Structure 1
Amino acid sequence: MKALCWHGTNDIRCDTVDDPTIEDARDVIIKVTSCAICGSDLHLMDGLMPTMKSGDVLGHEFMGEVVEVGSPDHKLKIGDRIVVPFNINCGECRMCKMGLYSVCQRSNRNGEMAVKQFGYPTAGLFGYSHLTGGYWGGQAEYVRVPMADVAPMVVPEGMTDDDVLFLTDIFPTGYQGAEQCEIKGGETVAVWGAGPVGYFAIQSAKILGAERIIAIETVPERIALARKAGATHIIDFKTEDVFERIKEITHGEGADAVIDAVGMEADAAHGQGGIISAIKEKVVPLQREYVLASAIRAVRPGGVVSVPGVYGGPVAVDMGSIVQKGLTMRSGQTHVKRYLEPLTKLIQEGKVDMTSLVSHKSTDLREGPDLYKAFKEKTDGCTKVVFNLA
């Protein structure tokens, strides 16, 4: 089969690889009908995540049709169209029973590597390094889905791939990022990054009742998307002082909550903070901290810092500000399964825009390497890439 594979930093290729096979009674094999390139995939492309191996199949935003099941009495049946969350869940461990699906204790077959890195195992993820299980991803013609009786959702009748594809990751991730802000109605929420996750975080904050939503961005296409999603104010971080503008917009009070929807792919923005961050990158192998530092500074005392943006290693955090301002910080990979049903209902009710984000579509994985490059470099107005394979 064809698949998009990682071969090193900035080296993504469309390879011919072996078709997946059933390995366990709980497995299913799906024929991928749609998949997408995620901003988190760029972390892999840039070499920012450890334990990648040449030839690893990429992709964690995918869905498709079940073509083989591991057991005759499997919960899923041949012909079912399913959405596959990016994290794999056993459904049996304490974390899964608590609804903390992203930290499932049994699905990461390389859990001992996560223990060395983080102290405890984390969930297995599709297409996202051997630290998270080394499972092949979904930017491919076929995928083996382990523990498929737990996390995947059968697509409701009448819903298209375009309606539900982003339930695999970025819509639940943006929603969880907004939900973590403890929005009760009338708040000011500032969102760093109006890429795919930021786009859904803005829509989600609006749905949850935020009164003012400030998007911090500089790419024109993403600024337009932020406005369409419901941002009431835009700050261009390359031409404006983000902290001073947020104080101005909030009449000196600061944002009630802030969302770092960028993570370790942050650009070193103009200004002293960006310069310091860029210097640190050269001297110490830390991940890019500028957005997180900027968000912590801009939130009001007693506010919430929500971090759906991905970090994979050490980051210098201003604990002085967190302690002295009495901040609450909330983060984590997304507990996708928790959100599938309620977010599907929002889509069915027409409360969420699922299509405007997509700028580039393809039916051919061989175009993948060029589309990865366009998405990374934000050229040709590229805001999101989707492959419709069937």
Structure 2
Amino acid sequence: MRALTWQGTRDVRVESVADPAIKDPSDVVVKVTSTGICGSDLHLYNVLGAYLEPGDILGHEAMGLVEAVGPEVSTLSTGDRVVVPFNVSCGQCFMCDQGLHSQCETTQVREHDKGAALFGYTKLYGQVPGGQAEYLRVPFGDTLPVKVPKGPPDERFVYLSDVLPTAWQAVEYADIPPGGSVTVLGLGPIGLMSARIALHRGARLVLGVDRVPARLQRAREAGVRTLDLTGHGKRLVTEVRNLTDGRGTDSVIDAVGMEAHGAPLAAAAQRVTALLPDALARPLMEHAGVDRLPALHMAIDLVRRGGTVSVSGVYGGAADPMPLLTMFDKQIQLRMGQANVRAWVDDILPLLDDSDPLGVEGFATHVLPLEEAPRAYAMFQAKGDGMIKTLLRP
């Protein structure tokens, strides 16, 4: 089959690799019909090469048709249409029972003291082959894939793999009071969908902050009040407080993560670390790594006293300096973590009907053949051609 493989920092290639096969009796193999490029894939593209090997298959946002079924699978048949959550979770352990599928005890990567394995996301998370490929082996066939109806276009459902549950959890964790306010930092796919969900769930004021004109425009079209970080700069905190009786918003969602703009020293350190041999890069990242933190520090400044900061952007630093005095003084609640995809499916599925209240159809700005994935990664990294969300078609 053809699959997108990692070959080095900013070097991904579509190559012919072995087809996946049933390994465990509870497996299924899915013929991928649509697969997304996620902002967190750019962390692999740029920063986390020390935990990848040439040939690793990337991608964790896939859906398609069941091609083969293991002998112990009873709920799926060949030809069924499914979405594959990005957490590799069993659905039956203690953590899954708590709705913490990203901490699944069956697939926890204990070698690196990490939570559940993830599709297409480094040795830290199990080195499981990903879904930017023609076929994908999916464990736990009876409990992990989400069966969806045939007929509507893939874009109706593909975001159940990551974007929708990640954004839903971001809003859930933000704990926006009824009729309350929220600032969303970063209007990429997760931030934009978080803003849409917050509006859908009744937030009175949703502020969206970004510096990319195309992202700001899409957010405005969805009813978000936007603030251009380029134009506001240090005045952003004052502007948000002016809109909220001097307090700041009830909640802030950080949908940016480790590669935020505005931290040149941390950015330089990330670039240098990415070029080091793995044996040097890994201990540096694990014990002295520092993320670019302007977005997270801004979230702490923007939220009102007693408010909640919800972090959905991925961070990976081991020595990130945090303003604990300010956090303590403002009595901030802080929630974060990988999305527990399966926990939110029942809440989201009813919204994926013809009324499309979250605007999933047309959410992708680009739909490209899998063979063009390397060009798409480079374009996404450069924020070129108005690219916000890309789907690949194998």
TM-score, length-normalised on structure 2? 0.91
How do 1:245-256 residues align onto structure 2 when only pairs under 5 Å count? 245-256=239-250
AA in 1 matched with 2:222 = A
1:242 paired to 2:236:
yes
Whole-angstrom distance in 1 between the partners of 2:268 and 2:30: 46
* Counterpart selection for 1:189 from 182, 207, 211: 182
Stretch moving more, 157-166 or 331-340: 157-166
Aligned to 2:206: 213
Checking the alignment, whether the CA contact within 8 Å between 2:166 and 2:341 is kept in structure 1 is: yes
CA displacement 1:332-352 (0-9 Å, x = unmatched): 100111111221111214211
Decide whether the 8 Å contact of 1:225 with 1:357 is kept in 2: no
Letter aligned with residue 333 of structure 1: Q
Equivalent of 1:125 in 112, 118, 126: 118
- CA RMSD across the alignment: 1.8
1:70-102 deviations in Å (ceiling 9; x for gaps): 116532111110010000111222101111111
C-alpha spacing 1:134/1:77, structure 2 compared with 1 (3 Å): same
SS in 2 for 1:57: coil
Other-structure match for 2:352: 347
Of 48-57 and 376-385, the range deviating more from structure 2: 48-57
**Shift, 1:355, TM fit:** 2.9
Corresponding residue for residue 99 of structure 2: 99
- Distance in 2, matches of 1:50 and 1:225, equals 35
For 1:114, the aligned partner's letter is H
Cα separation, 1, equivalents of 2:264 and 2:50: 26
**CA–CA distance in structure 2, aligned partners of residues 322 and 201 of structure 1:** 23
Q: Which residue of 2 aligns with 1:170?
A: 163
TM-score by length of 1: 0.92
Q: Does the residue aligned with 1:252 lie in a helix, a strand or coil?
A: coil
SS class of match (2:30): strand
Q: Relative to 1, partners in 2 of residues 1:50 and 1:205: Cα closer, same or farther, differing over 3 Å?
A: farther
Measured after TM superposition, the shift of residue 251 of structure 1 is 2.7
Equivalent position of 1:118 in the other structure: none
Which residue of structure 2 aligns with residue 18 of structure 1? 18
**CA apart distance, 1:282:** 8.4
For residues 315 and 333 of structure 2, the distance between their equivalents in structure 1, rounded to whole angstroms, comes to 18
Q: Which amino acid aligns with 1:361?
A: V
Give 1:253's aligned amino acid: R
* CA apart distance, 1:357: 2.8
Q: CA deviation at 1:49?
A: 6.1
In structure 2, relative to structure 1, the CA distance for the partners of 1:373 and 1:294 (3 Å cut) is same
Q: What is the correspondence of 1:57-206 to structure 2 with a 5 Å cutoff?
A: 57-71=57-71, 73-108=73-108, 111-115=109-113, 121-206=114-199
Name the CA distance, whole Å, in 2 between partners of 1:154 and 1:278.
Answer: 41
Aligned with residue 321 of structure 2, among 303, 308, 316: 316
SS in 2 for 1:89: coil
In 1, Cα distance between the equivalents of 2:267 and 2:146?
42
Q: Deviations over 1:109-161 (max 9, x none)?
A: xx22331xxxxx41110000111111000000001001222121111244321
Evaluate the alpha carbon distance shift between residue 279 and residue 381 of structure 1 in structure 2; reply closer, same or farther with a 3 A threshold. closer
**Which of 234, 258, 262 is 2:256 aligned to?**
262
Contact 2:4 2:58 in 1 (8 A): yes
Q: Which residue of 1 aligns with 2:374?
A: 369
Gaps (5+ residues) in structure 2?
273-287
Gaps spanning 5+ residues in structure 1: where? 116-120, 269-273
- Measure the CA separation in 1 of the matches of 2:257 and 2:392: 25
State the shift of 1:276 in Å: 7.3
**Other structure's SS at 2:231 match:** coil
Number of residue equivalences: 375
1:255 Cα deviation (Å)?
A: 1.0
Contact 1:183 1:209 in 2 (8 A): no
Secondary structure of residue in 2 paired with 1:63: strand
CA contact (8 A) 1:4 1:140 kept: yes
Please point out which of 380, 385, 389 is paired with 1:384.
Answer: 389
Distance verdict in 2 for CA 1:276–1:13, change over 3 Å: closer
